[in-house]
Structure 1
Amino acid sequence: MARRQDIMTTLDEWLQPERFQDYCPNGLQVEGRQQVRRIVSGVTASQALIDAAIEEGADLILVHHGYFWKGEDQRITGMKRRRLQALLAGEINLVAYHLPLDDHPLYGNNQQLARILGIEQAEPLDGLVWHGFLPEPLSPAALADHLAERLGRRPLHVGNGQADIRRLAWCTGAAQGFIGKALAGGADAFISGEISEPTTHSAREEGIHYYAAGHHATERYGVQALGQALAETFGVEHRFIDCDNPV
């Protein structure tokens, strides 16, 4: 058992959300009970995750995608009402870290994706974009197979470039707009979660391989690492629940 405030103080020390201009509030988004025995983590605070966390007897839900995004309708109706009603009725804390979790050098999505993919010498390149090296060169098709095997999702591959890919740049989630940073950094290929219409033309005309490996698929790992670190630090229970999302 641990106090919610102690957990939040530690999370803020680890992730330093004050360093980021984000699209949502980072940290405690919905206040629940003060004592925490069981943490459930997941990518997004969907109704499916909330329902699963209630069944698990969670005191705190830790996610990458929480609520209260800039520009969204502020009214508490429909889907938003049902989600908040379930959290408040269960006295479950909702804690979310967005960009601070992407960026963290140990628990972050970019670092954890490098670990899952076996990328060597992984480090920040420019802002949220990271770069590193494959242990040995892979063909474009072989890299697609590698991503599919490690992430459980077949990526969309567009563009062209080197016949042998060794140097990678990546940024998890909806970071397709950073393809220019990957090009400037000399990457053979850029990996992100999503793709937009202009990304195809950039990859084709600039001569770089682009892999849209899935927003959800690329961002499953940071929140797991963070939840496990909390469990080890505070002696609480932690379980990651993967609510499938094909995007």
Structure 2
Amino acid sequence: MNNLKLEILLNQTLSPQLVKDYCPNGLQVEGTSEVNKIITGVTASQALIDAAIEAKADAILVHHGYFWKGEAEPLVGMKGKRIRHLIQNNINLYAYHLPLDIHPELGNNAQLAQLLEIDTQGGLEGHPQSVAMFGEFKTSLSGKQLAARIEKVLQRKPLHIAPQELNKPIKTIGWCTGGGQDYIELAAKSGLDAFISGEISERTTYIARELGIHYFSAGHHATERYGVKALGEWLAQAHGFEVEFIDIDNPV
């Protein structure tokens, strides 16, 4: 498929025009005009670029790309090296940030809910483009049981901050993959029993304890592997691309 037509296809699927984001979504670095082989991954790191070069890929599709608001604009140093390798090897770079978090089927939030067996009920912010979600489990879980489920699914032990009522059961839950820890107050205000995000801040500990809500930090990278993986699998199954997901280890 033509590289620009691929961008149109991805835009039609993810609707980036509906989201106010911190970076451009879509084709960020243009490469070869024909795309057959795509490497997917969480972040467009040098390691992922090197893997794509070795695989002779035509494109890289990621959740975390480049050109974030507030970052230095000159293409020098690490940023220059990454982009130089993409251009020299004629590789297209596509990146979708918030649109890939919130997609109701292929998104990071939707995929995490499916993996953790959460019945999704809606957006925590009360609108279709909500970055945080809420739902419930079929049966109540203890904090230890949910921590064990998260560890089994993500292959990473989460950090569990329990409320003062340590044995408070978990039936209702909110979540936001990646750096969504500050939605915990909205989750508590909404009466939810627990909240999951990728990252944790120092303040999150006290908020969880004082507002009486279980909190689980499950890893930014770990919670955001599954949206781009699902998107790549859809491209392969529905549109015939050769797609390979490469998981570059990241403990954060």
The answer to whether the 8 Å contact 1:7/1:230 transfers is no
The answer to whether the 8 Å contact 1:159/1:201 transfers is no
Deviations 1:116-137 (A, max 9, x none): 1111245322221111112221
1:196 has 2:201 as partner: yes
Report the counterpart of residue 117 of structure 1 in structure 2: 116
The Cα RMSD (Å) is 1.1
Report the counterpart of residue 104 of structure 1 in structure 2: 103
| TM-score (norm. length: structure 2) | 0.95
Letter of the 2:109 counterpart: N
1:159 has 2:158 as partner: no
Structure 2: how far apart are the matches of 1:135 and 1:148?
Answer: 19
Describe how 1:18-167 pairs up with structure 2 within 5 A.
18-126=17-125, 127-160=130-163, 161=165, 163-167=168-172
Structure 1: how far apart are the matches of 2:89 and 2:227?
Answer: 26
Q: What is the number of equivalent residue pairs in this alignment?
A: 246
The answer to whether the 8 Å contact 1:114/1:122 transfers is no
Letter of the 2:247 counterpart: D
Letter of the 2:171 counterpart: R
| TM-score (norm. length: structure 1) | 0.97
Q: Which runs of 4+ in 1 moved over 3 A?
A: none
Report the counterpart of residue 251 of structure 2 in structure 1: 246
SS state at 1:74 partner: coil
Report the counterpart of residue 228 of structure 1 in structure 2: 233
Structure 1: how far apart are the matches of 2:216 and 2:32?
Answer: 42
SS state at 2:124 partner: strand
Deviations 1:151-203 (A, max 9, x none): 01111111315621111110000010111121122211000000011111110
Letter of the 1:106 counterpart: E
Letter of the 2:228 counterpart: V
Report the counterpart of residue 178 of structure 2 in structure 1: 173
Structure 2: how far apart are the matches of 1:43 and 1:121?
Answer: 23
SS state at 1:244 partner: coil
Report the counterpart of residue 224 of structure 2 in structure 1: 219
Bigger mean CA deviation after superposition, 99-108 or 134-143: 134-143
Structure 1: how far apart are the matches of 2:237 and 2:198?
Answer: 30
Letter of the 2:242 counterpart: E
SS state at 1:34 partner: coil
Letter of the 1:86 counterpart: H
- Structure 2 residues not aligned, in runs of 5+: none
CA gap of 1:24–1:121, structure 2 versus 1, over 3 A, is closer
| Aligned residues with identical type, % of pairs | 54
Bigger mean CA deviation after superposition, 225-234 or 116-125: 116-125
Deviations 1:82-125 (A, max 9, x none): 10111001100000000011011111100000111111245322
